[in-house]
Structure 1
Amino acid sequence: MASNLSTRAARAACSASKAVPCTQAMLIPRRTFATGPESSTGEAEQPRWSYTPPRAKAPFSLRLHSKRPFFHVNSDPALLDQFYIRMLGNGGDKILSDELKWLAVTHKSFDQGRRGFNDRLAFLGKRIVQLQASLALVQNPETANTAVKKDDYGRTPFTHPALDGLKNLSPETKNFLTDRSKLAELAQKYDMQKILRWTPRKPDDLKSSGLELILAHTMYAVVGAVSLEKGGHIANKVAQERILEPLGLKTVS
């Protein structure tokens, strides 16, 4: 009896709906979200980094009547390739795919993050650089403090050449060598600021807008991108030869 009542109620609901029949409504596919360019509009040939996805555009300008000065952001692939050659050496423009090359230098402030941004790449790259900095400190015992504190009981501490570098390994030493300002200064030597894609809070005052932080963040992101595309071995070499050695921390291969 209960099943008959539920069946009648369902039929009544279907007949009451004049917009779409029930059988037709069941066949309507669920809405899917495009993850790439739409070929129907001719945008399939455009690289993903070069435009904002149509479905991600806001219905109105988020900067209506804004008095903020316009900030130019690089869109020239040749200029980007020159940066990767300066940072990664000869052939550096061939190490990463085009999409990843742009993603690594894109901050989340650019285009409201709608073209992707480099936070996860920077997280990976920072772990790699910090690890290589730790290994370099351990492998350089000559920079350690050789003074040994006198023991009150006349005991002699155990020493071994493989343990001499542990005196260097401290969070303070590692943070000093990989300080944000030093990384930002190195990034400026590579002319990273010319190809960095971001939207500063104050276009007429980049320093107070956090340029130093974003440059260091992007340096890590490039290392993370190399690790993602070419593996950890190549990323370790980039961290050693292109970041730590210019900062004065030589590694032993």
Structure 2
Amino acid sequence: MASNLSTRAVRSACIASKAAPRSLAASVPRRSFASNTDTAEPPTPQTQQPRWSYTPPQAKAPFSLHMHSGRPAFHNNSDPAVLDQFYMRMLGNGGEEFLSEETKWLAVTHKSFDQGRRGFNDRLAFLGKRIVQLQASLALAQNPTASSTSAKEDAFGRAPFSHPALDALRNLSTKTKNSLTDRSKLAELAQKYNLQKVIRWEPRNPNNLPASGLDLVLTHTMYAIIGAISLEKGGHIANKVAQERILEPLGIKTVS
């Protein structure tokens, strides 16, 4: 009888000793590798600069990616005052204060610049393009005079149903919208705002920017600016900017 009691006591002690560390580990939060202060590098004067102005040391390649390429160097703007002047031209007085400092640079940075290591504007452009296309569709739907097609006379004298709210629906075609927001037209508008002086990109041939896709990069950046305004100022402000600074200069009348 005594031996059975001692055996049970030993088993209980073993079970308790195994369970104790497991419950203790569950109560202690896990530490990530980033929290290890022993290997963390101390802050340097470079890392205290704005993120848009430098490439992180850990992201730099161990050798030049353009070694022996023979391609001439292409100058990109790095002056905040020049960038602010562009935003004032495009957005009007106070336009340089529409966006935060980092976002202003991110919106004009193409993925070809610095191999994308300082961030790029693809996702902003995706959002901005949807906003501009939506506003273009609404403008066409609210502007019956923009219709270029006329109703044909019916051979049996029948008159189709007509209503002012439906007269402009024939304008809502992909061909019409694409012709009004054509890449070449948006790129021409961007050049009027002098966007080509502030975009950050690496053309394939610096001596021939049109052949390197300048129109595509300008249009892409115009959309990115609208997307950035939407994220930081809201959809209502982005809609107004798309109407007044992009669609109306292209000849698309908008209704508020």
How do residues 76-95 of structure 1 correspond to structure 2 at under 5 angstroms?
76-95=79-98
1:144 aligns to 2:151 (yes or no): no
Answer yes or no: is the 8 Å Cα contact 2:128–2:224 preserved in 1: yes
| Equivalent residue in structure 2 for 1:55, among 27, 51, 58 | 58
State the Cα distance separating 1:152 from its structure 2 match: 4.1
Structure 1: state its 5+ residue gaps. Answer: 1-26, 33-37
TM-score by length of 2: 0.83
Question: C-alpha separation between the residues in 1 aligned to 2:251 and 2:124?
Answer: 24
Identity level (%): 73
1:217 deviates by 0.5
Residue type at the aligned position of 1:191: N
1:103 aligns with 2:97: no
Aligned to 1:22: none
Q: Compared with structure 1, are the counterparts of its residues 29 and 252 closer, same or farther at alpha carbon in structure 2 (3 Å cutoff)?
A: closer
CA deviation profile, 1:93-119 (whole Å, cap 9, x unmatched): 000000000000000000000000000
Identify if the C-alpha distance between structure 1 residues 249 and 70 changes in structure 2 by more than 3 Å, giving closer, same or farther. same
Uncovered stretches (5+) of structure 2, i.e. residues with no partner? 1-29, 36-40
Q: Which of 214, 218, 222 is equivalent to 1:215?
A: 218
Residue 16 of structure 2 corresponds to which residue in structure 1? Answer: none
Letter of the 2:199 partner, please give it.
L
> For residue 161 of structure 1, what is the amino acid of its counterpart?
P
What is the identity, as a one-letter code, of the residue corresponding to 2:227?
A: G
Q: Which position in structure 2 is the counterpart of 1:65?
A: 68
In the TM superposition, what whole-angstrom CA distance separates every residue of 1:69-90 from its partner, at most 9, and x where no partner exists? 0100000000000000000111
Question: What residue in structure 2 maps to residue 249 of structure 1?
Answer: 252
Call closer, same or farther: CA 1:215–1:146 in 2, change over 3 Å: closer
Report whether the alignment pairs 1:159 with 2:162.
Answer: yes
Q: CA deviation at 1:62?
A: 1.0
Segment drifting more, 44-53 vs 100-109:
44-53
Query: CA–CA distance in 2 between the matches of 1:146 and 1:160?
Result: 16
Match of 1:169 in 2: 172
Does the 8 Å CA contact 2:109/2:121 hold for their aligned counterparts?
yes
Give the deviation of 1:156 after TM superposition.
Answer: 2.1
1:99 counterpart SS class: helix
Deviation at 1:39, TM superposition (A): 5.4
Read off the aligned partner of 1:79 and give its amino acid letter. Answer: V
Alpha-carbon distance in structure 2 between the residues aligned to 1:129 and 1:146? 24
Aligned residues, how many? Answer: 223
- TM-score, normalising length: structure 1: 0.84
Question: Given the alignment of the two structures, is residue 237 of structure 1 paired with residue 240 of structure 2, yes or no?
Answer: yes
Letter in 1 for 2:105: W
The aligned residue for residue 116 of structure 1 is 119
Using the alignment, how far apart are the partners of 1:133 and 1:39 within structure 2?
51
Structure 2 distance, partners of 1:78, 1:231, is: 25
What is the distance in 1 between the residues matched to 2:85 and 2:252? 26
Letter in 2 for 1:226: I
